[in-house]
Every structure is written in structure tokens, then in C-alpha cells.
Structure 1
Amino acid sequence: MTEGNFTDYVKVLVASGNGGKGSSHLHREKFVEKGGPDGGDGGRGGHIILRGNENLWTLIHFKYQRHFKAGHGEHGGSSRSTGADGADVFLEVPLGTVVKDFETDQVLFEITTHGEERIVAQGGKGGLGNWHFRTATNQTPRYAQPGIQGEERELLLELKLLADVGLVGFPNAGKSTLLSVITSAKPKIADYPFTTLKPNLGIVQYRDFKSFVIADIPGIIEGAAEGKGLGHYFLRHIERNSTLLFLIPADSKDISEEYEILLNELQKYNPELLDKERLVAISKSDMLDGELKELMKRELDMYFGKTPYLFISSVAQQGIQELKDRLWLMLNPKI
């Protein structure tokens, strides 16, 4: 998946339909002198409905159309005929979409399952016809209810990626390179920081036709939890991943310090992120000889403790299969 057509944050304006007016019609028929009231009810205004679609992975289809209006209900007719309901408008969204009220920034709900439908703007009710207002003392009411107005509101649609594994690391740690090696995704790769400006998704093909989804999140920098750099625009995507893969290059000045900074940014953003399963991959390890690697292992064993880690090289294809095996076992501990 490419970066250019990935959109994960849009504002839309939605307006539901007005309810139709009730009819104040009086029955007229040959040889019937006083037919009485027979006005029908107005139809309901159309709803604006969000529907989850597992085949979508971006909100880009809202980039070119951001105003949506449902149909109005038709007015009631004679012979107690009810007006037709206004046409509903269905907005398809990818799974993991969070819906917020633009004015209050309040989270209204999240769409997480395929086919899930939620009404975001309720259509107005149709007015009652004069048939409902007849009484013993007022047998020919000549009035009916007007329809209720629909509602109009601005919404923020925010996508949080639904992936099994989230790649976490500083800019230029080799995340995009790893994604291009273990999946068929083609992210932008270059030898400078912040090559990745949008999240990339890839499907990892595993043994016996099994697979899992991995997300390359734009690189974290110190202060990201406060919104520095790309800040919250990418940290929210990590919330949905069940396993976090920390990628730290072997040529880092201090691997343990880099790992601590990454953990600290995640904790400041959302402490619950530290409850997720973690695996540390030391990337670019093809530049290490056997002696240096053994020396680093002794230090890392003392630092990481129970946190699993391994050495990999995306370019030299070293440790890639072991990485897949580790991730698969973390995602499927009972299999």
C-alpha cells in the first residue's frame, strides 16, 4: 500500500432529512356529505448512517466529498396514506474508525466490525395527519402536525489501524525496509529520517498459508506524546496493535537508552500500551561480526531481562524467518 492515497483524518458535514408534514385532508365522496378527516402522516426524514466495511483501509473517499445530505420525508396524503420516508445515506468506513463530534471533540463511538451500522444524524419524524386529532367534540379537525426538522452536525472521522503487529522505532531505524522484505508492501525507502509520513500496512505470509498484518508506523521522536513531530497523528495507530515490534538499529549510540525513550513516549501517550506484548529486533546487524554480537548479547541479556529480542538484517535476509516465527507465536500462543 502506498502513502499517497492513505487518509486517516477527515472532517465531514452531515445533514439528515426533514420529516414530511401531516395532511389535513377531509374525505370527499359522492353521496357522503360529511366524510370526516382522513389526512395521513408525513414520512420520516432520511438518516445518515455509518457502516463498517472490512474491504476499506483508508478514509480517502471522504477527501473529495465531505458534505452529505439525506432525503426529506414526503407529506401525508388523503385516505390516511402515509408519505414515503426520505432516502437514508450510508457512509462506508474502514474498521477502526473513531467518530467524534467536531464542536465538543467528544468520542461518539467506534466502528470495529464488518457491517456494523450506527446512525450519526437522525432523520426528523413525520407530522401526524388530522385523522389523529378527531374527537367527539371536534369531528372535523382542519389542522395537522408539521414534520420535525432533521439535524445537521460536523463530525471528525479518525482511523486507527487494525493490525496484528505495530512497528515502533525512531526515524531511519529500517522499519520500511523490513516491511518491504517480509510483506509485498512497497513503502517509500530512503536514507534520511521521516521517509514514512503515513502508516503502511502489509500482510506477512507465514507457514501453511497462514498470515498476519503488520503496520509500519512513522518514526517516533522524543516529545511525540506532546504532539512534537508527527505526534498524535501516528501514535493513535499503535493503540490497535496486539503486539509491538520495537526496531532499534545495531549502530545506535545506546540501544537501551533508545528503547527507554520509545517506552517513555508510549507511556506518556497511553500507559495501557505498555501492557501489550513486546519484541525487540536489533536491525542492521549484518554490520556486526561474531565477537561484537556476543559482546552485545551479554549486555542486552542483562538489560532486557524477560523482554525477548533478536538480531536481524533486512538487507542481508538474516533472522527474518526467526522473526516471523516469534511474532506468530506471540500472536497465537495456544496454537
Structure 2
Amino acid sequence: MANNNFIDYVKITCRSGKGGAGSHHFFRAKGLPNGGPDGGDGGRGGHIILEGNSQLWTLLHLQYRKHLFAQDGEGGGENLRTGAQGEDIVIQVPLGTVARDAETGEVKLEITEHGQRLILTPGGRGGLGNDHFKSATNQAPQYAQPGGPAIEEQVILELKLLADVGLVGFPNAGKSTLLSVVSAAKPKIADYAFTTLVPNLGVVAYRDYQSFVMADIPGIIEGAAEGKGLGTRFLRHIERNSMLLFMISCDSLDVAAEYRILLSELEQHNPELLDKKRLLAITKSDMLDEELEAELLASLPADMPPTIFISSLTNKNIQPLKDMIWKALHE
């Protein structure tokens, strides 16, 4: 996904169609000047509908489509003729899209499956014709029901990528390099901080033609919850991951301290993230010999998650890392 093509947040104005009015027509024919009511019902106004599409990975196609106006329903006619329904607007969105009310922040719906269709903004109901209101005491009702009003609202669409494993770490911890090694994803890689500016997804091939999905998000720094660096804007993309893989470079001055900083930033963003399974990968460990690894491992507190030393440069322990991830995903 190109940086300038990845859009995970859009604000749009939606207006559904208003319902058509019911008819208050009376049947008239030669020799029958005072026929009974035969007014038809009005048509429903058009809905605005979201539909899941597994082939989409961004909300880019909605970035410049800020107004969605559905068609109004038509009024009912004579001879119990029902008015035509207003045409619905169906918007394709990536899986993991959440729709919120722009004013209250309340979640309206979530799209999680391919082909799933949910009504975002419902159209107004069609009004009933006067035929519905006839009775023994009122055989010629002079009224019909008006159509339901249109609904106009501002909606925020947010994308939360659906992945099995979320990579968490400081900038330059080796997250993008790992993703490029274990999958066909081609994230930008360089030796300076914040080379990853948007999330990247990769499908990781495993044994016996099985696979899992890994998500790399921009690096977190201390104070991200207060907006430092890239802030926590992209942390929504790991809210739905089954587990988190923390990645810390072996040249860190204090691995345990970095881990706790990362954990603290996650907790400030969403405490529920701490309920996810966690693994720790100490990266760039081709620079370490067995003695240094043992020394570093012994220095880690007992409450650290299961830990493995890896090197994406030399493929050191890449397969054992996959095994650990697969086991954690299927426990």
C-alpha cells in the first residue's frame, strides 16, 4: 500500500431518501361517481448501505466523496398503486470499517465480513394510502399518511485492519524488516526513525500451506498517548489483532524498561489491549553471541512475556518465531 493511498479515516455527510406520501385517491368510473378509496402507498426512501469488500484495504475511494444523497421514494397512486422505492446507495468498504456518529462518537455499525450489508442511514418509510383508513364508520377517508422524513447526518468511517498478529515497537526496532522477510509485503525500510508512516499488512506462510496475517504499524515513542511522534493514531489497527508481538532491538539500554513504556502507551490508548496474548522478539540478535544472549535473557524480569532472539538479516530463529506465534494463536 502506497503511503499516499492509505486512508483510514473519512468524514462524510449522509442523507437518506424521504418516503413517498400515500395517495388519498377515490375510485371513479362511469356509473360509479362515488367509488371507495383506492389510494396506494408511497415508496420507501433510499437507504445508504455499507457493504464489506475483502479486496479493499483503504478508504481512499471515499476521501473526495463527502456527500452521499439517496433517492426519495415516489408517492402512491390510484388503483392501489404503490410508489417506487428510492434507489439505495451502496458503498463498498474494507473489512474492519467502523461507522460512528460524528457528533456523539457512538458506534453505529461495524463491517467484518465480505459481502456483509448493513444500513448506515435508513430511508424514510412510505406513507399509507387512504385505503388503509377505511372502516365501517368512515368509508371515504379524506386523508392518507405522509412519507417518513429523510435523515441527514455526519458519519465518521474508521478503518481497523483485521490481522492475527500486531507488531509493536519503537521506531527502527525492525518491524518492517521482519514483515518483509516473512511475507510478500514490501514496506519502506531505512535506518532512520518513522520510515513506516502507514500500517502494512502481510500474509505469513506457515507449515502445511497454512498462514496468518501480520500487521506492522508506525513505531510508538514514549509520550505517544499525548501526541508525540505519530501519536496513537494507528493503534486502532491492532485493537482487533488476536495477539501482539513486541519487538525491541538487542542494542537497547534496557529491554525491560522499553517493554514497559510500550505497554504503558497501549494501556493509555485502550486498556483492553493488555488482555491480548503477547510475545517478545529481541531483534538484530546477529550482533550477539550465545553468552551475551544468555546474559541478556537472565537480566529480564520474570513477568516478561515468552521471549525469542531473532535476526531478520540472517533469518535467525525466524521459523521458531512463526512456531511460537502459531501456537499462541491456536491455544
TM-score (norm 2): 0.94
Rounded Cα–Cα distance in structure 2 between residues aligned with 1:228 and 1:65: 31
* 1:20 is aligned to 2:20: yes
Amino acid of the structure 2 residue aligned with 1:111: I
Taking only aligned residues, the RMSD between alpha carbons, in angstroms, comes to 1.8
Equivalent residue, structure 1, for 2:245: 245
Amino acid of the structure 2 residue aligned with 1:286: D
Equivalent residue, structure 2, for 1:83: 83
Equivalent residue, structure 2, for 1:73: 73
* 1:55 is aligned to 2:55: yes
Rounded Cα–Cα distance in structure 2 between residues aligned with 1:137 and 1:331: 69
Equivalent residue, structure 1, for 2:192: 192
Question: Which stretches in structure 1 are left out of the alignment for 5+ residues?
Answer: none
Amino acid of the structure 1 residue aligned with 2:157: L
Amino acid of the structure 2 residue aligned with 1:23: S
Rounded Cα–Cα distance in structure 2 between residues aligned with 1:219 and 1:194: 6
Kept in 2: contact 1:2–1:200 (CA 8 A) = no
Q: Could you say what secondary structure the match of 1:307 adopts?
A: coil
Equivalent residue, structure 2, for 1:228: 228
* 1:46 is aligned to 2:60: no
Equivalent residue, structure 1, for 2:160: 160
* Pairwise CA distance, 1:183: 0.5
* 1:324 is aligned to 2:308: no
TM-score (norm 1): 0.93
* Pairwise CA distance, 1:220: 0.6
Amino acid of the structure 2 residue aligned with 1:84: A
Rounded Cα–Cα distance in structure 2 between residues aligned with 1:119 and 1:80: 28
Q: Calculate percent identity across the aligned residue pairs.
A: 63
Q: Could you say what secondary structure the match of 1:51 adopts?
A: strand
* Pairwise CA distance, 1:304: 4.4
Amino acid of the structure 1 residue aligned with 2:130: N
* 1:295 is aligned to 2:301: no
Equivalent residue, structure 2, for 1:113: 113
* Pairwise CA distance, 1:331: 1.0
Rounded Cα–Cα distance in structure 2 between residues aligned with 1:328 and 1:57: 24
What's the CA shift string for 1:154-192, capped at 9, x where partnerless? 101111111100000001111111111111001011111
Rounded Cα–Cα distance in structure 1 between residues aligned with 2:130 and 2:256: 78
Kept in 1: contact 2:220–2:232 (CA 8 A) = no
Rounded Cα–Cα distance in structure 2 between residues aligned with 1:79 and 1:297: 84
Question: Which stretches in structure 2 are left out of the alignment for 5+ residues?
Answer: none
* 1:213 is aligned to 2:183: no
Kept in 2: contact 1:22–1:39 (CA 8 A) = yes
* Pairwise CA distance, 1:204: 0.3
Equivalent residue, structure 2, for 1:33: 33
Rounded Cα–Cα distance in structure 2 between residues aligned with 1:292 and 1:148: 73
Equivalent residue, structure 2, for 1:310: 308
| Structure 1 segment 257-296 matched on structure 2, within 5 A | 257-296=257-296
**Structure 1 residue runs of 4 or more that deviate by more than 6 Å after TM superposition:** none
Equivalent residue, structure 2, for 1:102: 102
Amino acid of the structure 1 residue aligned with 2:307: Y
Deviates more, 1:244-253 or 1:90-99: 90-99
Q: Could you say what secondary structure the match of 1:4 adopts?
A: helix
What's the CA shift string for 1:2-30, capped at 9, x where partnerless? 33322111111111101112222221212
* Pairwise CA distance, 1:234: 1.1
Amino acid of the structure 1 residue aligned with 2:325: L
Rounded Cα–Cα distance in structure 1 between residues aligned with 2:184 and 2:5: 17
Deviates more, 1:178-187 or 1:95-104: 95-104
What's the CA shift string for 1:185-226, capped at 9, x where partnerless? 010111111111111000001111110000001101112223
Kept in 1: contact 2:109–2:120 (CA 8 A) = no
**What is the count of residue pairs matched by the alignment?**
331
Rounded Cα–Cα distance in structure 2 between residues aligned with 1:23 and 1:294: 84
